[in-house]
Structure 1
Amino acid sequence: MLEMLNRWYQRRFSDPHAVSLVAILVAGFIVIYFFGNLLAPLLVAIVLAYLLEWPVSKLVKFGLPRFASVLVVLMLFAGFMLMACFGLVPTIWTQIVNLIADIPTMFNDFQNFVSHLPEQYPDIVQPYMVNTFIDTLQSRVLGLGETVVKSSLSSLVSLATLAVYLILVPLLVFFLLKDKKEMLRSFSVVLPRNRRLTNRVASEMNQQISNYIRGKVTEIVIVGITSYITFALLDLRYAALLSVATGLSVLIPYIGAAAVTLPIFMVALFQWGISPELGYLMLAYGIIQALDGNVLVPVLFSEAVNLHPVAIIVAVLVFGGLWGFWGVFFAIPLATLVKAVWNALPANDADDEEDEDIATQS
């Protein structure tokens, strides 16, 4: 076993370029893990810079200076965001307030529904089971109420953080776009000289992250708009709120879609009860999710689809546990990075076969 590990280490890390690649990655992971909260505005700015680099580069190709291209793209983006906020945020806020006001009525209706289950299904549901369930549900609701109160008390801190973001992020995006080449050149000075593999992986990941961010934003918009049209046609309450939640759920592969299904089902259940309308809604929602997973995602993320679903879920759990929202958002690119690094490290197929024989014999 020790011989196999030694041979594997010598094969993978005998090249100084491989050692430099691993050292750079470890240093980057450590910095983000310990200083991720402090660097959050920079991370947001980097995501936006990746998103806006494509239109900036197109304008530069058309002959417009980069400084002017950055100004034009930033002004158009800021105008679009202001229109979206003023048009969408008031509606979302109104629906959130209405939903909170309706929650007690929904809760009482649900209690009445559950309390009558022993009469309808006496062989399956016993009264003590219903009482235990209702008591547990009430305690959960009370705990949720306390959490909401605590969150509201800390809202002033969140508002202050938002104000800082509104000032810092646009400035960072502007300079990241305007001085992109100068910053990359300055950053490369502090890196090790033996970075042939690092440059190869960085070039591959730069393109993949850029495509991923643009694709993810496109997927959110398409899924959100499609969901809103569907919910509005079916006259579902809180259509705007639920469609925004459905659009944002694509940020978390597989898990997000499952998490949003419950509130959509519960709202529809309280609105229509057990009825054909409920079935039509869930069928339409299932079609949207199927088209998203089997048509839209393969078109937008052709390279990421090569990852096995288990690998994607593990990446969401691992990187989400390490870095929270950003780990979840970049779970697929990070999983692709791990795969790219592993493929970039030097290997010898003959030695691999010998190690497999040693492992089998031991």
Structure 2
Amino acid sequence: MLKIVDGLIKRYFSNEEVVVFLLLLVTCMGVLAFWGGILAPVLIATVLAFLLQGLVERLQSIGLGHTPSVLIVFLSFMTSCVVFISVMVPIIWQQADRFFKDAPRMLTDLRDFVQKFAEGHSEIVSQDAIDEVINSLANESTNLGQWIVSFSLSSIPSLFSLVIYLVLVPLVIFFLLKDQRAILTYLTSWLPKERKMMQRISHEMNEQIANYIRGKCIEMIVVGLVTYVVFLFFGLRYAELLALLVGLSVLIPYIGAAAVTIPVVLVAFYQFGTQNEFLYVVIAYLIVQALDGNVLVPLLFSEAVNLHPLAIIIAVLFFGGIWGFWGIFFAIPLATLVKAIINAWPEDKEIMEQSKAE
């Protein structure tokens, strides 16, 4: 047994780079596990800076200096954010307020519909199932009302956190863009001089994650806009709010699309009842989802993130269980990191052959 363990250690942990990388990986996971909430602004800024770095490099490729390129990209990004916040946030906020106030009535109408349907089809649906569904809807309606009240009472700390995010995130983004080379030089100075495995992992992650983030941003915008046009065409209430939710749902593969379908169907049923318009809205929404999954995603990503759907679902569940929302948000990049590590992990073939000979 000890010989087998010794052989595995020599096979997979036979050089300094592997040991340093393993310690670095464990340290990062520990920091995220214990202080991930505190470092959330830095994590968000790092992702956004990574996304904006490509634009900085393009401006530099046409002859602009580093500092002017950073200023142009940063100011353009901040201007876009200010315009979005000043125009869209008040609309979304008003619609969200009306939606949460109407949600208990939506559940009540759905409960009444289920009860009437069951009364007319008692030979198909059992009374116990009817009572269970009705009681469940009644409890959800009560719980939702209580949650709205508690959320409004606890909104002051969240607003304070939002102000901190609005100040810290732009500052961190600017310094990451401006001093990227100095930061990377300082961080790599702590690593071993021979780091072929780390460079291989870094190259694969940089290529795949850059494509993933850019692709997800494009997918989010396209799906959100198309969904908004569809909802606006049918005159669906809360069109902006629902379109925003549908656009954001693409960040969480499979699970996000399933979760956001519930409010879309609930609002459509509350507004149109059993009329044909309800069926038209649901069909149009499902067509948008089908086009996203079967046309837009393959077109944007291709082989950028070559992960099996089962691996993606497991990653969402696993990292989401460890780090909550941020684990779900970064599930695919983290799964890609695990895949890159497995592919790049070195093996000491000479030692392995020697152990076989022994």
Q: Structure 2 length normalisation: TM-score?
A: 0.91
| TM-superposition CA deviations, 1:28-75 (whole Å, max 9, x none) | 111111111111111111011012111111111222221111111111
Native 8 Å contact 1:33 1:323 kept in 2: yes
Q: What residue in structure 2 maps to residue 359 of structure 1?
A: none
Q: What residue in structure 1 maps to residue 288 of structure 2?
A: 288
The alpha-carbon deviation at position 277 of structure 1 amounts to: 2.2
| TM-superposition CA deviations, 1:206-244 (whole Å, max 9, x none) | 232222222111111011001111111122221111111
Q: 1:352 to 1:127 in 2, by over 3 A?
A: farther
Q: 1:305 to 1:283 in 2, by over 3 A?
A: farther
Native 8 Å contact 2:106 2:266 kept in 1: no
The alpha-carbon deviation at position 4 of structure 1 amounts to: 5.4
The alpha-carbon deviation at position 88 of structure 1 amounts to: 1.4
Q: What residue in structure 1 maps to residue 202 of structure 2?
A: 202
Native 8 Å contact 2:107 2:141 kept in 1: no
The alpha-carbon deviation at position 2 of structure 1 amounts to: 6.7
Q: Structure 2: which 5+ runs fail to align? A: none
With 242-251 and 56-65 compared, the bigger mean Cα shift is at 56-65
Cα distance in 2 between the residues matched to 1:103 and 1:199: 52
The alpha-carbon deviation at position 303 of structure 1 amounts to: 3.1
Q: What residue in structure 2 maps to residue 335 of structure 1?
A: 335
Native 8 Å contact 1:315 1:332 kept in 2: yes
AA at the equivalent of 1:277: E
Q: 1:271 to 1:195 in 2, by over 3 A?
A: same
Q: What residue in structure 2 maps to residue 135 of structure 1?
A: 135
Q: How does 1:57-76 map to 2 (within 5 A)?
A: 57-76=57-76
Cα distance in 1 between the residues matched to 2:250 and 2:192: 38
Q: How does 1:10-25 map to 2 (within 5 A)?
A: 10-25=10-25
Q: What residue in structure 2 maps to residue 247 of structure 1?
A: 247
Native 8 Å contact 2:237 2:271 kept in 1: yes
Q: What residue in structure 2 maps to residue 237 of structure 1?
A: 237
AA at the equivalent of 1:301: F
Q: How does 1:175-194 map to 2 (within 5 A)?
A: 175-194=175-194
Cα distance in 2 between the residues matched to 1:348 and 1:274: 67
Alignment pair present for 1:111 and 2:90:
no
Cα distance in 1 between the residues matched to 2:132 and 2:350: 63
The alpha-carbon deviation at position 348 of structure 1 amounts to: 7.5
Native 8 Å contact 2:7 2:352 kept in 1: no
AA at the equivalent of 1:151: F
The alpha-carbon deviation at position 119 of structure 1 amounts to: 2.3
Cα distance in 2 between the residues matched to 1:5 and 1:146: 56
Cα distance in 2 between the residues matched to 1:323 and 1:202: 23
Q: What residue in structure 2 maps to residue 360 of structure 1?
A: none
The alpha-carbon deviation at position 350 of structure 1 amounts to: 11
Q: Percent identity?
A: 48
Q: Structure 1: which 5+ runs fail to align? A: 356-362
Q: 1:307 to 1:128 in 2, by over 3 A?
A: closer
Cα distance in 1 between the residues matched to 2:67 and 2:274: 59
Q: What residue in structure 1 maps to residue 30 of structure 2?
A: 30
Cα distance in 1 between the residues matched to 2:155 and 2:108: 29
Native 8 Å contact 2:92 2:241 kept in 1: yes
With 267-276 and 151-160 compared, the bigger mean Cα shift is at 267-276
Q: 1:258 to 1:351 in 2, by over 3 A?
A: farther
Structure 1 stretches of 4+ moved >6 Å: 348-353
With 220-229 and 87-96 compared, the bigger mean Cα shift is at 87-96
Q: What residue in structure 2 maps to residue 345 of structure 1?
A: 345
SS in 1 for 2:38: coil
Q: 1:3 to 1:293 in 2, by over 3 A?
A: farther
SS in 1 for 2:247: helix
Native 8 Å contact 1:13 1:345 kept in 2: no
Cα distance in 2 between the residues matched to 1:29 and 1:108: 45
SS in 2 for 1:164: helix
| TM-superposition CA deviations, 1:83-128 (whole Å, max 9, x none) | 2222212221222222233334323322321222332111123445
Native 8 Å contact 1:298 1:305 kept in 2: no
Q: 1:204 to 1:118 in 2, by over 3 A?
A: closer
Q: What residue in structure 1 maps to residue 47 of structure 2?
A: 47
Native 8 Å contact 1:41 1:165 kept in 2: yes
AA at the equivalent of 1:198: M
Q: 1:212 to 1:140 in 2, by over 3 A?
A: same
Q: How many residues are treated as equivalent by the alignment? A: 354
With 331-340 and 7-16 compared, the bigger mean Cα shift is at 7-16
Q: What residue in structure 1 maps to residue 222 of structure 2?
A: 222
The alpha-carbon deviation at position 178 of structure 1 amounts to: 0.4
Native 8 Å contact 1:234 1:281 kept in 2: yes
SS in 1 for 2:274: coil
Superposition RMSD in Å: 2.4
Q: 1:290 to 1:305 in 2, by over 3 A?
A: farther
